[in-house]
Structure 1
Amino acid sequence: MFPAKPKTFNADTVYWRGDDLVVGFELESYLAVIEVNVNDDYIGFKLKDLEYEILDYGVKRRTEIDKFTLLQLPVQNRDNFGEWLNVSWDEQVAINLLATDPYAMIDAEERDGFRIFKAELHEEVKMKGVEVVLITTEKENLLNRIEKVENDFNLPKGVASRRSKEYKYSYYEIWDATPQNIDEHIAFAKKGGFKAIQIVWNSFVSSFGHYPWKAEYPNGMKDLQTVVRKVKDAGMIVGTHLWYNKVDKTDLFVSPVPDHRLSLRRNFTLALPLGKDSDIVTVEENPEGVTMEEGRRLLKIGDELIEYAGFTTERPYQFTGCMRGALNTEVSDYVQGYRLGLLDVDTWPKWVRLDQRTSIQDEIAEKIGKIYNDAGFDFIYFDGAEDVIPPYWFYTSLAQNKLYQNFTSPPVFSEGAIKSHFSWHILTRGNAFDTFRPEVIKEATRKYPLAQAKFVSKDFTSINFGWMKYVAPGESTIGMQPDMFEYVCSRGAAWDCPVSLIGELEIFKKHNRTSDNLEVIRRWEKARIENFFTDKQKEELKNSNQEHILLINEDGGFEMLPYTQILNVAEENKNVRAFIFQRNNKTCVVYWHISGEGSLELPVSSESVRLFEELGEEISLPKNEERISIPLGDRRYVQFDISKGEVIDLFSKAKIK
């Protein structure tokens, strides 16, 4: 009757059958039976059944349904909309449409002045037995209501995580942790005021999939437990950073016999027999659009992998320039009609992705869960979360939930590279971004983490203002400097968000300003965790163009002030960084050498100047009516009895000795 295109059948009948709501549809003989659960915290809607009446004449068969809209509700726009949680709220009221499992697609379609909140059930995922809840409450009670849903439906405890004291903790991340070097890492982490250390699995396993121990862990789990215990004995929690929905090309899941549960992006059929010596694979289907990226051009046929160099897009359809038996797989003969596929090699081509429809994701989750539990980890970073099969809204959170269900104790918090609606309960902090160069880190922080923090805060969630890569000065870079850490940490504090630092022992030792850099992080971390910043100060910090410094004053307390870089120090010498600020009606400058030592000569009377190692720790200056010489190296503070403009002029005329 209808054209071959998507067709929506609107509801035209609604009535009660006992406690169930029954909905009929125009032009179709379906009846949707919806169980309604009304309580003080939420209203639940579950699709119990789709009844269908087939008439006793004609040859009409049941119409196949691609998707079913369980609930749609127009919601007037309020001050805030959290796209991830699917909540519209202001300071008085919050309206939230929430899935109770990964199977419902929750969304909101924007209209003029309102949104259509929508819960869809997809046939390719699951329809019958899927439930969603509608929460309408005071804004201050929203998380209480969500927590009730999490408890009633045995969901991951996203609310409890967001309310935990550990939720505020920044972390120090290690890519090379061993039983031999962990003590050094702990020492540096303590200098930075970190209360959490995150260990990347590359530290202790040589491949992902079967997770064999690296040579640095000759005693396997016992050595990893030693590393974890040392961190905890130092008073910190321990997390882990891993990839969980893909395996290494070098792993036994791929080579020498590729597992049948690896993901295939496209499927093909041999149009001609394929002999062992053939370097051309002729197929029935057009391969147009398959990847030509280096490292990703792999076909899987039986237990063999074939690397192709090119393909044709007119018959005969062929993969050409083929290298047989790639990744040490065995070359075989194949008959006409044999099925093969384009292996789902990751955009980071060291990996091959898994097919979440099969048991391989469960197997991987069990392996990861055992290591996580036995080691005693406390939190987790789900990296590569986007690398799942479609539909992405479903398999993103499904894969994460499979891991979560294998943890004996729920992580105190979790982060991940991408999120879907249901993963709000799992990924309780937004993701960190990849590292930025020192020269662009402030601009990149404005463009990425700051924008994300504002966006995700509407979902009652913080993000991670990291990862910050530690870089020492060199020929091509000034390296990471105290003002850069000051900027990133202060912007995080504006939104009450943590940071993360990648710890590299040799770079720490090489960089002469490491002590200053870690002290900056320590101050902001301590002040943020202790709730030092007022709402007014947080609003000031949200101004991304105004930089701030966090001082420790003469009484040992924190003091936050705006400051500005002096750009033309010593005729624009790039080895000195100086920032000017006003304090107690005095003009002050914090300054340092980016990597070395020396002295800075300023054409000013010593009577107008006071020098401090830290505020309250004065350094005496020789009396001189014409000029002073101040030490140049670590961060120090100099205070003037002259105007800001005069001080800037002094620093432009300074001489480095």
Structure 2
Amino acid sequence: MYVKQISTVILFLLLCANLSAQQINLKSPDLNLAVSPTGQITAMLNPKTNKNYLAPGVKAPLLKIRTANDWEEPAKAVFNPKSGIMTLDFAQSKISADIKVTQKKSHLVFELTGLSAKDKVKAISWGSYPTIIGQTIGEVIGVVRDGEYAIGLQSLNVKTIGGLLLNDGGADDSRGSVALTQAYGSSLQAFSLDRSKARKTTVWTQYPDMPVSAIPGETTIGSKIAVFGCPENQVLSRIGVIEVEEGLPHPLINGVWHKQSPETGRAYLIGDFDESNIDAMLDYTKQAGLMSVYHESPFLSWGHFALNPVSFPNGNAGMKTCVDKASKMGIRIGVHTLSTFINTNDPYVTPVPDKRLALTGSSILTANISPDATEITVESDQYFKNLKPSTLHAVQIGEEIIRFRTVSTTAPFKLLDCQRGAYGTKAAAHVKGTAAGMMMDYPYNTLFPDFNLQQEIAGNLSRFFNETGVSHMDFDGHEGCFSSGEGDYGMQAFADKVLKDTKHTVVNGTSRSSHYYWHNCSYWNWGEPWYGGFRESQGDYRLENQPFLERNYMPNMLGWFLLSSTTTAEDIEWMMARAAGYNAGFALVARYKNLQKNPNTKELLALIKLWQDAYRSKIFSPDQLTRLKNPENDFHLEQHNKGWNLYPFKKFKFEHAKQVLQPGQPTFSEWNFVNNNAEQPLNFSLTFMGKEGVISNPWIELDGYFKLELPGEYEAGNSIVCNGTTIKIYNSKGGFKQEVALKQAIPTLKPGKHTIKFDCGFPEETELTNRFVVKTISKPELIAK
């Protein structure tokens, strides 16, 4: 009898062991996952084709944990199908993790619901999950696809950061690492950090050992992801379903999910409207057919976001009046700020600085100081000697901000040449043992918040939107959230709070791509169009961005362009041809005075609207779209009652360099070209290429009878542009310098062969060359309605 009982127990234990050692099969209609008894994913199947997309021979832990500085993979996995709980055991650390598994029609959900020793776990990582898909890698959205099938990973809350854990703060300076190209295809990954304990981290690689306060209760428990597979052409709609089912941000524009709305990615105008000129600025915006008029600098300061009373004497009520006027015209009002950057004139800084301003570190005073002391002795120089990234040299002691020149190099360490009571704070006496904190700043004369103040600032923004109805913004400077020491979590939490607390949809963009924020974000765009001419500023970057946007399911955007008082129709059509080629939006920086001063404003805005109407109506053929994308090509577009005329331009490019010839031998260059089209104005540009130096007295001769002399000196980078009736000179950044007075009319180009001669004076030592381009307009390509 006793032997029989023992046998029964042994049989039961063997059955349990066999049960626990079984493969775990998790299913959705478009993706099945198999998990081994050791917690490794062993298959990622498309059940409709039975194809396994898991990369062979590569580890694929469902979940890893990090204790101290070591990552550990699970040794054992057991799944209870009734409760939906999968328990992973980690043998080395003797920690177990409970994961709630939910198998849905559209996706699989994994949520970390428990850890046997959560205080020991500093971080967790979902994956990496290796796949054999390598054709298109959406590094931000976390979707990989091969033309037919796609697999994706979505973080389902702010604490779960899509991508690789690269540092203690969880910051990623790359554009995205949720999906990465690998030799075997691609990998998908996400992580979560325990932020519930105070720690030190490095911020922006410039601030080592920066103390970061704890966020109470913010552990890795609750980290949650969705994994899905589907046909490639269903990816975007599938993500929309996941958003709704899992409570992710799912903004609507006129009742349509913003990722599928025709309003998303539309071009907008950046200008300087105010209560007095809003009607005119709205009229300009309507003429151009743009989505929004967006104020580039509406606030007196960032932080509290009080409007500048010069532009808005009635404050938020005045802005709301602007919004109401715009709304009646179907136009949005937008405002610009730098996210969490705080001006030194903001109430968070003056007259009493907030205790939650970001500090890169601190030390204590080793002696009492009086209100007029110009040397302050501190226990350690650790944070005060790191002056390279600092532009303000500012220290916070109690309710005073003090600026100093430098810190002594030997003990006792002293802050030298102190300027007391900076930024309107009050100089005061401070006692030995008081903390002195080195403030984090930025060259825009701004400071930063810690995480708690950052979230309060998010609330200030949403309150402004709610009170005014403003419905457009960019999270410019979004990376400023790194000042909290919370990495990408800080960025995600800030934007999420702003938009959740706002009671209406806010169309919003950023130049910083990040995974969770993707669900909130309407577009990725970028600014600063003042580095070169209209066409040159950030030119390559504009085009390089387009494949990046497309593989991450974001609307194409071309960045910012500056419309000045001298911008020409040719420049506008160059911009709009690129926009048409990529079906892209853009931002047009057009200040009120420039719109008023440019004699061709009405024509320019009409061209912008004309081109937008054309490409939003999808009139262009694939061949035309390919040519429109090429920045070397110029076009002119017209509309008529039967459809459209697209006029391509043909360019003839020539170059003239300094020549060393025999005495008396002519040094000019002679070029030939043929105009195969109708008689038309002579259209050319002459650019003086090189980094420095000047050329003098250039001249141009057409067909052996018309000579155009341009006396004077011209610097490297200058250009001369002729449209057939006027000649204008521009500087190296495309800024207008002057118009050349003509003594006689410029002849037109008749059909047939033409000859141009060109010469100029060069300095003795020069690397300058001259680029001469003649542009002729071709016969129109007819596009029927």
Q: List structure 1 runs of 4+ shifted beyond 4 angstroms.
A: 204-208, 292-295, 553-556, 564-569, 580-583, 585-594, 600-605, 629-634, 638-641, 647-654
One-letter amino acid of the structure 1 residue matched with residue 259 of structure 2: R
Name which of structure 1's ranges 399-408 and 107-116 shifts more when overlaid on structure 2: 107-116
> Paired residue for 2:609, among 522, 527, 535?
522
The equivalent of 1:15 in structure 2 is 78
Q: Is the 8 A contact 1:35 1:45 kept in 2?
A: yes
Distance across 2 between alignment mates of 1:296 and 1:581:
61
Query: Is 1:252 equivalent to 2:347 in the alignment?
Result: yes
| Alignment RMSD | 3.5
Distance across 1 between alignment mates of 2:159 and 2:306:
30
> Paired residue for 2:189, among 115, 118, 142?
118
Q: Is the 8 A contact 1:209 1:246 kept in 2?
A: no
Displacement of 1:543 in angstroms is 2.9
The equivalent of 2:527 in structure 1 is 433
Distance across 2 between alignment mates of 1:150 and 1:565:
49
The equivalent of 1:543 in structure 2 is 630
The equivalent of 2:236 in structure 1 is 143
One-letter amino acid of the structure 2 residue matched with residue 94 of structure 1: A
SS in structure 2 at match of 1:460: coil
The equivalent of 1:304 in structure 2 is 400
Corresponding pairs, count:
586
The equivalent of 2:457 in structure 1 is 364
One-letter amino acid of the structure 1 residue matched with residue 515 of structure 2: H
The equivalent of 1:622 in structure 2 is none
Give the percent of matched residue pairs that are identical in Structure 1 and Structure 2.
20
Distance across 2 between alignment mates of 1:537 and 1:513:
27
Distance across 2 between alignment mates of 1:502 and 1:190:
15
Displacement of 1:539 in angstroms is 2.6
Distance across 1 between alignment mates of 2:271 and 2:334:
10
The equivalent of 2:176 in structure 1 is none
The equivalent of 2:573 in structure 1 is 486
Name which of structure 1's ranges 372-381 and 81-90 shifts more when overlaid on structure 2: 372-381
> Paired residue for 1:338, among 434, 438, 447?
434
The equivalent of 2:286 in structure 1 is 190
Q: Is the 8 A contact 2:360 2:383 kept in 1?
A: no
TM-score normalised to the size of structure 2?
0.68
SS in structure 2 at match of 1:393: helix
Greater radius of gyration (CA): 2
SS in structure 1 at match of 2:470: coil
One-letter amino acid of the structure 2 residue matched with residue 173 of structure 1: I
Distance across 2 between alignment mates of 1:6 and 1:147:
37
Displacement of 1:554 in angstroms is 5.1
Give per-residue Cα distances to partners, 1:476-511, cap 9 Å, x unaligned: xxx433333223332233322111112222222323
Name which of structure 1's ranges 458-467 and 533-542 shifts more when overlaid on structure 2: 533-542
Distance across 1 between alignment mates of 2:84 and 2:71:
27
C-alpha change, 1:114 and 1:539, in structure 2 (3 Å) is: same
Distance across 2 between alignment mates of 1:287 and 1:47:
38
Q: Is the 8 A contact 1:561 1:581 kept in 2?
A: no
Distance across 1 between alignment mates of 2:675 and 2:264:
34
Give per-residue Cα distances to partners, 1:268-311, cap 9 Å, x unaligned: 22233333332223223323652356742111111110101012
The equivalent of 1:423 in structure 2 is 517
The equivalent of 1:163 in structure 2 is 260
The equivalent of 2:660 in structure 1 is none
SS in structure 2 at match of 1:373: helix
Give per-residue Cα distances to partners, 1:43-94, cap 9 Å, x unaligned: 1110010114xxxxxxxxx872221123331022332111111211132112
Distance across 2 between alignment mates of 1:404 and 1:449:
28
Tell me, which stretches of 5 or more residues in structure 1 are unaligned?
53-61, 473-478, 570-579, 595-599, 606-628
TM-score normalised to the size of structure 1?
0.81
Q: Give the 5 Å matches for 1:545-564.
A: 546-552=632-638, 555=641, 557-564=643-650
Give per-residue Cα distances to partners, 1:537-577, cap 9 Å, x unaligned: 33333334x323141155463333442456789xxxxxxxx
Q: Is the 8 A contact 1:32 1:50 kept in 2?
A: yes
Distance across 1 between alignment mates of 2:593 and 2:488:
41
One-letter amino acid of the structure 2 residue matched with residue 196 of structure 1: S
The equivalent of 2:479 in structure 1 is 386
C-alpha change, 1:204 and 1:340, in structure 2 (3 Å) is: closer
One-letter amino acid of the structure 2 residue matched with residue 12 of structure 1: A
Q: Is the 8 A contact 2:149 2:229 kept in 1?
A: yes
Query: Is 1:180 equivalent to 2:264 in the alignment?
Result: no
C-alpha change, 1:653 and 1:418, in structure 2 (3 Å) is: closer
Distance across 2 between alignment mates of 1:246 and 1:276:
29
Give per-residue Cα distances to partners, 1:5-51, cap 9 Å, x unaligned: 72222211111134111111131110011011111111111001011
The equivalent of 1:608 in structure 2 is none
One-letter amino acid of the structure 2 residue matched with residue 32 of structure 1: A
SS in structure 2 at match of 1:465: strand
Q: Give the 5 Å matches for 1:286-297.
A: 286-287=382-383, 290-292=386-388, 295-297=391-393
Q: Is the 8 A contact 2:406 2:415 kept in 1?
A: yes
One-letter amino acid of the structure 1 residue matched with residue 599 of structure 2: N
SS in structure 1 at match of 2:596: helix
The equivalent of 1:597 in structure 2 is none
SS in structure 2 at match of 1:490: helix
Distance across 2 between alignment mates of 1:529 and 1:289:
56
Displacement of 1:429 in angstroms is 0.3
Q: Is the 8 A contact 1:548 1:560 kept in 2?
A: no
Name which of structure 1's ranges 202-211 and 400-409 shifts more when overlaid on structure 2: 202-211
Q: Is the 8 A contact 1:601 1:630 kept in 2?
A: no
SS in structure 2 at match of 1:443: coil
Query: Is 1:283 equivalent to 2:382 in the alignment?
Result: no
Q: Is the 8 A contact 2:546 2:556 kept in 1?
A: yes
SS in structure 1 at match of 2:554: coil
Query: Is 1:470 equivalent to 2:567 in the alignment?
Result: no
One-letter amino acid of the structure 1 residue matched with residue 557 of structure 2: N
C-alpha change, 1:5 and 1:22, in structure 2 (3 Å) is: closer
> Paired residue for 2:328, among 226, 233, 256?
233
C-alpha change, 1:552 and 1:421, in structure 2 (3 Å) is: same
One-letter amino acid of the structure 2 residue matched with residue 642 of structure 1: P
SS in structure 1 at match of 2:527: coil
C-alpha change, 1:630 and 1:149, in structure 2 (3 Å) is: closer
